[in-house]
Amino acid sequence: MARRDWDDADDEAPASGTRALERALQETRTVYRQADAAYAPYSCPASGECCQLAVTKRQPWLWLPEWELLKRSKPLPPARADGACPYLDAAGLRCTVYADRPFGCRTFFCQRIQGPARQPSEEVARLLQRLERISQRVMPSLQGPRPLLEWYAGVSTAPAREER
């Protein structure tokens, strides 16, 4: 089956349950590819500074399909004592779920970004709206994205559940 890139016109109601979630995950990966393309002219110093959530007092906000991708990437790591992103490696320099990192981690908010003077804000806004629509189709009751550590705390404090 050929890979499909969804666009904004493809917002019909999906099938329910697992099929809807699988489609949402595929669409979320498409949004990620589009964000990566929009930020291709930019570079990051790869210092891991933005992943120091307790220090920066900032964290990415995720829609449900983004969280589902993270949960599926690998087993949830333990919370870090230093308050950094739980997905940051032990050295504090690399993301352990880089391919499935959230949208907010793909769109640089670091002051040390290098590249064209003007970031692609219109494209970012369009892609964020797309993520919202994808999430709303899967879980209409979810009114907005949630901070990464809020999603994480909800799962890491819950009793262990059997993996699919």
Q: How far is CA 78 from CA 5, 51, 75, 81, 85, in A?
A: 34, 15, 9, 9, 10
Q: What's the confidence (pLDDT) of residue 16?
A: 59
Exposure string over 26-45, b if 16+ CB within 10 A, otherwise e? ebbbbbbebbeebbeeeebe
The letter for the amino acid at 57 is: K
**What distance lies between CA 150 and its chain's CA centroid?**
14
Q: What's the confidence (pLDDT) of residue 158?
A: 46
Instruction: Give me the chain's average pLDDT, please.
Output: 84
Q: What is the largest CA-CA distance in the chain?
A: 48
Q: What's the confidence (pLDDT) of residue 11?
A: 45
Q: What's the confidence (pLDDT) of residue 105?
A: 92
**What distance lies between CA 117 and its chain's CA centroid?**
25
Give residue 156's pLDDT band: very low, low, confident or very high (50, 70, 90).
Answer: low
Which has more pLDDT, 36 or 156? Answer: 36
| Three-class SS state of 114 | strand
pLDDT in tens, 54-112: 999 999 999 999 999 999 988 889 989 999 999 999 888 889 999 999 999 998 767 77
H helix runs in the chain, sequence order: 18-38, 53-56, 64-73, 103-106, 121-138, 148-156
